[in-house]
Structure 1
Amino acid sequence: MSDDELHRRLASYEGRAATVSGRGPDPVDPAMIRHWCEVMGDTNPAYSGPEAIAPPAMLQVWIMSGLSGPTARSAVFDELFSLLDAAGCTAIVATDCEQDYLRPLRPGDVITFDSVIESVSPRKDTRLGAGHFITTRTEIRAGGELAGVHRFRVLKYAPAARPAREAAERPRPVINRDNAGFWEGVAGRRLLIQRCDGCGRLRFPWLPGCADCGSARWTPIEAQGTGTVHSYVVMHHPPFPAFDPPYAVGLIELAEGVRMISNITGVRPPEVRIGMPVRLEFLRAGGEQWLPVFRAAEEGP
């Protein structure tokens, strides 16, 4: 099938229903609003109290179906994806979304929605591979009243052949006048954090002034090098010649109370756990470049 013929068939799905009479799995919920605000660090008083509204950016949250998968998706949507699969476009990646907010959502609102396949692009060549962008348009209602519109775009593509991996050094850190002292410490195999001379607060990453008291005076102190995994992700994509996925990137809480992002070594990525004790070590990343990383430590008695 030629590219033009394939696109004509794909375009015939435009305007057809992707979801019919969808219903949010739960009403708008104060607990979910609180969790969202804590994760985002959003302290806007509009999102708490007896007159609370949901943050507008949570619009999609109330229609997500979870691991069980969508229950209201139409057969038409599956047909479109099957056609692309048959054409070799077997991979998918989300690219972007757009949202319009028409009225605030409040705790207790019951959410319903319908969506259509708004557009299917002609063939596009990307670094990931050649494929088609599919845009769905979802109208989200609260109590039957239109509350927002959510456009979601994915690329369904045929994965491009990967070139042979070449040896490469890890990217060099950006060193400037504000963090040069930190990297000088790393070069000497020392992990330095800052202590404000005004209020005594410890901080990392390095900053020119204290966020608490505003003092521009500080003293570098050497961290013990012990800590725990506060949070982490396992990176599988995108591939990069200097890295060998999968690998774990952790938010490490140091014994001093500050947190830093670094690799977790000495353990298989699936075995990393929140709360896991780690210990600092230094990784030579080519030439004279050293990087601080954290190796999984033995649990104490």
Structure 2
Amino acid sequence: MSELLTRLRAFEGQTLTPTTWGPDAVNTPMIRHWVETMGDTSPIYLDDAAARATGRDGAVAPALMTQVWTMRTFTDKMANNDPSPVWTDLIATLDDAGFTSVVATDSDFEFFVELRPGERVSLTEVIESISEEKRTGLGAGHFVTTLKTYRNGDGAVVATQRWRTLRFRPKDTAQPEPKRESSPGSESTVPKGLRPRPAINADNAFWFEAAREHRLVIQRCAACGTLRHPTGPMCGRCRSLEWDTVDASGRGTVYSFVVNHHPRIPGFEYPLVVATIELEEGTRLIANMTGVEPHEVEIGMAVELDWIDADPELTLPAFRPAARKDS
């Protein structure tokens, strides 16, 4: 074992976040905002009678809201913004060894107990593991996994979340590329380097394969027909594991958007418009906007499918303003 790895492994088991209670109890108004935003129409989250019909004691909070109940308020973040000294020391150790860049790779949630309005949730986070040096498409680096444990007021473990990041030493990915026509408002015409690689797994490989064929597909439950995105192994409505896909029309509207100017990441043109697109089929996805100046993008704007052939191995859907039909 190298001297660096020995130093890194010494951080395993150390506490990043001591047991901290969320600022608010589980409550119905926040649940309502969540399910409306996510488009989750299951009645067990807002209707006590519907929840009791499934054997529950009453309405429950969506499992994926577990992290929400422990998030600090804006005021609290501003007043207590000092990072964990353990985390500071770990990052300094990695930085000194040249591993100065970071990319999140995955978040693995496991749920054990459903939460009901009125319950409080606490969070404890420790450094679970640090890998030996790995060679990746972004560069050599170490995977750092932290384990967050969520508990209710009785001390029962509600959920665990493994949050994994890659701390890597950037390799020189800059290489000559053919000049691309710049979109309106672009500050750069030739992106340098490659776009970051998506985390491909058994649940989403089919989606990226279809994209390489310039096909935008939506995962569909084979049992109840519910469409879902992001992709996943199980239907959130009927819990079936059987699924197929349908081809999206490529038409939709801008549900929300942001314009990124910094940080400048290789492989992207700036300013970069990142939008949440609501497809006419009803699902939403995150994509770049093309063929439009940032100040022209509006919520509700009609859009149509475009494609970004980032490099020979990566094709991603994008959206441009829909062509106006002659009246």
User: Which category of TM-score, normalised to the shorter sequence, fits these structures?
Assistant: 0.5 to 0.7
1:296–1:150 CA distance, 2 compared to 1 (3 A): same
CA contact (8 A) 1:248 1:263 kept: yes
Determine whether 1:230 maps to 2:255: yes
Secondary structure of the residue aligned to 2:150 is strand
| Cα distance between partner residues in 2 of 1:58 and 1:140 | 11
Amino acid at match of 1:275: I
1:4 Cα deviation after fit: 1.4
1:63 Cα deviation after fit: 2.3
1:19 Cα deviation after fit: 0.9
| Cα distance between partner residues in 2 of 1:100 and 1:160 | 34
Secondary structure of the residue aligned to 1:103 is coil
Q: Percent sequence identity over matched residues?
A: 35
1:76 Cα deviation after fit: 1.5
Matches within 5 A, 1:25-36: 25-36=23-34
1:276 Cα deviation after fit: 7.3
2:132 to 122, 128, 131: 122
CA contact (8 A) 1:141 1:148 kept: yes
Amino acid at match of 2:46: S
1:239–1:56 CA distance, 2 compared to 1 (3 A): same
Secondary structure of the residue aligned to 1:164 is coil
2:13 to 12, 15, 18: 15
| Cα distance between partner residues in 1 of 2:112 and 2:140 | 36
Matches within 5 A, 1:255-270: 263-268=289-294
Matches within 5 A, 1:212-251: 229-234=254-259, 240=267, 244-250=269-275
Determine whether 1:162 maps to 2:160: no
Determine whether 1:111 maps to 2:154: no
CA RMSD of aligned residues (A): 4.3
| Cα distance between partner residues in 1 of 2:296 and 2:23 | 31
The CA deviation string for residues 64-98 of structure 1, in whole angstroms up to 9 with x for no partner, is 33663776964222211121122222221111122
The CA deviation string for residues 145-197 of structure 1, in whole angstroms up to 9 with x for no partner, is 22122211111112221222412789762399xxxxxxxxxxxxxxxxxxxxx
Gaps of 5+ in 1: 177-203, 208-222, 286-290
Secondary structure of the residue aligned to 1:6 is helix
CA contact (8 A) 2:101 2:167 kept: yes
1:59 Cα deviation after fit: 2.0
Secondary structure of the residue aligned to 1:97 is strand
2:299 to 254, 271, 275: 275
Alignment match, 1:201: none
1:65–1:155 CA distance, 2 compared to 1 (3 A): farther
Alignment match, 1:80: 90
| Cα distance between partner residues in 2 of 1:228 and 1:175 | 15
Alignment match, 1:60: 67
Gaps of 5+ in 2: 49-57, 182-211, 218-246, 310-317
Aligned residues: 239
CA contact (8 A) 2:290 2:319 kept: no
Alignment match, 1:95: 105
1:39 Cα deviation after fit: 2.7
CA contact (8 A) 2:248 2:281 kept: no
TM-score scaled by length of structure 2: 0.59
1:173 to 214, 218, 230: 214
Alignment match, 1:294: 321
1:142 Cα deviation after fit: 1.2
The CA deviation string for residues 103-149 of structure 1, in whole angstroms up to 9 with x for no partner, is 11112211112121110111111111221111111221111422122
